[in-house]
Structure 1
Amino acid sequence: INEISEEYGFSIMEVNADLDHIHIMIDCKPQH
């Protein structure tokens, strides 16, 4: 995930894992 965030120019603010899914909060600039 860190490699992808660096490649696309966003930062990962928080990651929460549950038994069957994860939540990822990111910080990014609008693309349009």
Structure 2
Amino acid sequence: MLNLGAILSTPVIDDDIIYFADSNGYVYALRLE
């Protein structure tokens, strides 16, 4: 389970991975299936 703050960035998709940043200062990378 992710403990996300508010998402601050526009998600970016590259090679079936989505990247985004949150208000806690973390950048996430999730594989799309």
- Report the TM-score, using the length of structure 1 for normalisation: 0.39
If you compute each CA radius of gyration, which structure gives the higher value, 1 or 2?
A: 1
Which structure dedicates a bigger proportion of its chain to helix?
Answer: 1
- Report the TM-score, using the length of structure 2 for normalisation: 0.39
